[in-house]
Structure 1
Amino acid sequence: MSWLKSQLQRVSRSPSPAPKISQSSVLETTRNLCELVSNLGSGALNVPGLQAAGLIGCQIIDILQIMKDNQDACNDLVDDIGQLMSPINLRLQGCRTADVDDELKAGIKRLEEGLQKVRETLQYELRRGRLDRTLNPGRNAGEIAKCKAIINRQFVIFQNSSLMSLQMGMASLKRQADGPRTGEQNANDQIVKSVFTTISPSGPVTNVAGHIFHGNVNMYTSASGGHSVTPWHSSAGSFPSQPAPPEDFFGRDDLVLTLANLFIGNEQRRIAILGAGGLGKTSIALHLMHHEIVVQRFQGREFFVGCDGVTSADGLASRILQILEASASASGNIINALHAALAGALPTLLVLDNFETTWDTQGGHNAVRELLKKIASVKSVSIIITMRATDPPTEIRWSWSETIPALSPASAKDAFLAIHGPLPSGSNSDDEVLDELLKELDYVPLAIHLLAQVSRGFKPPFMLKRWREKKTQMLRVETGARALDRLESVDVSISLSMESLHVDRNPEAIQLLGMLCLLPDGLLGWQERLEVIEKTFDTATTNLFLLRKFALVYTAGDKLGVLSPIRHYVLHHHPPDSQHAQCIYNIIWELVNTYALVSFGPKFRGAVDALSPEMANIGSLIDHAAAYDPGEIIVDIAIQISWHLCFTHPSRHLLQKVSTLVPSVHTKTQARYWQVSSEIMYRQGEYMEAESTFKQARGLFLEIEDCQGAARCSQRLGDTLNMQSNYSEAAVILTDARCQFSEIGDRAGAASCSQSLGDILRLQCDYSEATVSLMDARATFLEIGDRLGAAQCSQRLGNILSEQSNYSEATVILTDARTQFIEIGERMGAAQCSSTLGEILSNQGNYSEATAIFTDVRAQLIEIGERLGAARCSISLGDIHFWQGDYSEATVIFTDARAQFIEIGERLGAAQCSQSLGNNLRMQSEYAEAAAILTDARAQFIEIGNRVGDTECSTSLGIILIDQGNHTEAESLLAHARDQFIDIGRDEWTAYCSLLLEECVRARDGEENTETGS
């Protein structure tokens, strides 16, 4: 009954009254404000419309006090008027008529006109009479909403009190400029004139600590009330002749500033910027090198030294000397010459870029080490190195040394759009696809830079598809016959790191890397799992150290990962062999076997916590196994993990990965495959598809004479028909399934069928029979020791009492059921009981307490991973705002809930949110938009086979037609809706449609009589 009442409230043409709150203080305050504004207009300020605006405001308040219906909406309107009048009164107090410029005068005149429209509208509503307003409350609420809109439009004129201060301040400055001038005023004359030509009252104005910013102008309001005006400029410096930093630089400013601050003072600094290729280490070094603090410290002696191609200590020393424009004797030691040149020079900064090229050279490593120590020994020389590594050289002590992360999602998007330009279509869907594409690139700067170049002229969906087909092969620019360098191709960049690793000499390290590349989420709990890997590959730890040395892997807390571009490159060029792949299969399959089939209860949260971080890894390994090691085990893994997804994020995407293998597996596995497929369809609201697939699974179970499996499919088939409002057929199938369970001695299955039959009877408002069926089921559950089933029956019995408005007894039973759920660790059942208790409070008008309960329940459901129930709590919270006439907040909540349902894949919930949004607009007299949304929602209900939702939307559309005076078409639509409710067995809805139809007939007869009389 409570659910039905909530639906009736949703289509009712007046919201339920909120608990009454005294508004006398608000009325008095608002009236005083209006009188003050009126007095200003009749006194010191001779501004047309100001006195009238205040008087009309008082008259509006008088009318609202007389109107006794839609009190919440009336009170809100009073609040809005008070909020409008308050800043006007505040800013005009103490002003002179000369301070009010023409723009402000025009705004006050428009205010008077707007208030006149509000007064006329309310006077007309008052003349309609109390009875008329009671019979047509929706129309009354709509007119008040229009008045609120008019008042709110006035805020556009007076939206920012700082604007008014600026306007009057400018007027004051003009007067000062026209009067006797001081020397300072003469000096600022040109600035003032410039300001008056650039400031317009329509631009954005911000007041911060007395500074009023308008565009590029800063007007400072002094404590004494005077004003000064200065242009607001940003500084820009020129760069030295060294390589310029790239213009497209995003998400690294804070890091550059942190590093630049290290150079404040005279101490020597040694900075190592580390990480994989393509992360933007060189860009960071260049921006740091050209930072104002660094330039000021070294006064032009900042030198960038590229180490590419330099494979010896002498070669690097020679290159540095050349860049320093210092000479070395032909017979002398070049390293000593470099040391002498640096020691005899002013403070110097050396940036050694791609230092790993020289550092990892074969045969000359000791000499390079000595060179680095020699340079570092000169205290006036600071060093910055960039290096493809996880750890810097240990021969010297570093001031700062870190592996830099990839970009944030927002910075990655900014970087892409800066190079690519705006998206071709600019649609939200393209925007979302771009977000997904950037995420698959792990937000690596080089990959994003190249993607942006090759994507010009193409839409994101095409680029995402191409990326998934080509991977890193597409991340390259066209250079013709010229060979690509590391900044023009991701593959070239990664291959340089692979060359440093010496693939031929370290095959085991390459295989370990290939194994890790199968895990897009990384190897979680990597230290413990590395021990497991070492049981098969005893050099795993040594190989990992080698991979980390060249920054081919990274660690982040408990995760050992590989960046997306490297991962795809390795899988293409160096895939793991079957032995290494099987090793990682075993680790992840054990996790699935342990947690995937844990159902709701005390252990479910732990299962969610264990599996959620691994979902991408599981999907990747299913893909790999389906392609390289197909077999029944991989189908079984997909089935198990999909059962888990049923309770968290219902999705068939993992089942689709193994769909081609299904015909070759045993019949029982096939039956289980289609059973979980249909269960997910059911939970996603795809009831017609679920009905067909349950029948398919049931047929396979019958084929192998698995009576229990067949009976379970029959039970779920009955539940599916119930959701389609096909109650008679559902009851037949559930009765048959109950018999099947009884024949094989499955008393729990039989009791579950009785429970479902009770649900059908409740929906048909046959509460006495529903109660009998649920009582029988509960007795059976108690006899067999199934406390969960017994608690679920108690919960449903409480729901029946609630729908019959027997709130006190319902509260007792639901409270007891909730206690039972808590004792057995079934948090979802406990949350559902709390939710129904919240509905009872809401139906009793106790909105504040109901809101608190729904908010708490939603938090509990989110915590246990039950997103579907959490989204339904959002609907209940939206309903409360709707019933109280708070349509704007209701819109926000319904829209957010709909997005959650869409993300989950629950089509029924999404359609119900659209239905609520449509009714929300209808209550605001936004008939065209409301009709469009309700029509779309109705189409969704029809598509998923939900007759109740379809018919409710038809009823709402009929009400819109009545409000628009289209009684003939409304009568046709409502007659059809009434017939549908009769067929479904919804008596109260049937009666409601009958009342609406009587209103149509009376209105049509009245129109005909009017035409006859004329």
Structure 2
Amino acid sequence: MSSSSVPFQETWERWTTRATSQLAPIKEKLRNTATQVAGIADTMQELEDDSRQLALKVTWVTQVILERIPPDGPADERAKEVVLALATKVSKIDAFLRSGRKKGDMTGKRAKKVSKYHKSLDALRLQPSLVDIPPTPEAFHGRDEVVGSIVQLLLQDKPSRVPVLGTGGIGKTSVAVAAMNDEQVKERYGEHMYFLSCEGIDSEEGLVNALAVFFKIQRDSNIRTSLIAHLSSLGRALLTLDNFETTTQSDRQRVRELLGRIGRVPSLSLIITMRGTQPAQGLSWDTMTRYGDCGPLLRTSIATLRRSKDTDGSGSSSNGQGMDSMNRAGEQEKHIAQCLLLLGNILLGQSRYKEAATILTEGRAAFEAISDRLGAAQCVQSVGDMLRMQCRYEEAAALLTEARAALETIPHRFGAAECVRGLGDILRMQCRYEEAAAVLTEARAAFEAIPDPVGAAQCLLALADILYVQCRYEEAAALLTKARGAFEAIPYRLGAAQCAQLLGETMRMQSQYEEAAALFTEGKAEFNAIAGRLGAAACSQYTEALSMLREAEQAVPGTSFRQAGPDTRG
């Protein structure tokens, strides 16, 4: 279980500040229960390890309930059930913790009791009234453009796959919640809108179980199949998975497979919020720029963090307060550096290279100032990728080589493999095909060892492209077929579409026009499904030209009008 980013005491004080002098009876019950939990939190450091973990869980679950059930306004029947259940559990846990470990206690019996309390608290946290959509935060400024972009995605005819990414504390959850509370979104999805916090869910199995509890799915021999069947039965629906980084980082491969299955549910739109710059694998996500330009939000966050750091460091304080202030300043410096990296990558994706270079250089210095080698290396890697996109190959190769060495030392295998693939692409663009093939083969092996099937398949596609430009069509077709199968299995539709297009070109170059036409048609359909207009247009152009080529070659027997077309595969 990961601890909440906001301390329990802060949530509790904010709740009591908003409470009126005359609370509804059930809210009064919640206040009394939370007061009891505050007492548990105060004694947490004095407890033994298993008791401390239980105390941490009960304070965290109470905090979640306080955030979901505000002191003002009426309380519905579901909220009453949750508060009464919480009060009962807190009383029992409080008595258990106060009793301490008695002489003669059976270790196994005590462990079972602690485990039972943990499970009952998890079940309480996943009550439907607690996973309903939270209200839009009262203080919500400077994010209208981001929210508006997400809303537009959610209102389109096809299901949306929206990743809301970034460092901790920039308001990812607030952005997702604001989009879900939009009146048009509510009207479109009706009662089938669901919000689940994944904080504390550290495995694919845990996520499946949490969703099963939420949707009240009967546990059977194949709970995953039952879950997918239930999601499919909902019709048009929207599911938000908040704080998804813990789940995906702990169980990457199985989460990828589960997301792939969820992604095939018709009419289900999905939002995830997670820390980092890359969404979880397993789905073809809506692109970064389409879910909203987070640049203004990130710039605001950076400025806010800097003002907060300056304020914390400006006043005098006691030793204890001074240590807390230093710790907060360290966290703020880390968040500033992470925001700079994310902002630089967003600018890079928008081809705003000069701005991206400035921000990423600043980000590298910020990471180096706090001795964060990984963040600094990622900034170097991003600048190297930027130079590669600008065809400044020698400079790009130098930076990617530097980043690779740093990432291998840390070690960070995925980042190092990405650098190797970038170096292989540089050699390929320089027409140094033998060297490029060797480096890309090395990168493919690195991705397979992680394992990262997307990276491995992308290396296969690049190797096939080398064979294609060398006119080794049969070998190229074999690799492309393998790469296409790998992309479809993930699924990763862009890669599958690129493979179909290049396979079509390979068949065309061998005068196999019927096969080429079929592949271009398939490629066009894939590109259209992911709004890849350039690729779709190229496939259409080739399809229309094929009949003309066939007629020309029939008019002049023994002649082949083979010609390489423009590279539109990205």
Into which bin does the TM-score normalised by the smaller protein fall? 0.3 to 0.5
Q: Greater CA radius of gyration, 1 or 2?
A: 1
TM-score by length of 2: 0.47
TM-score by length of 1: 0.28
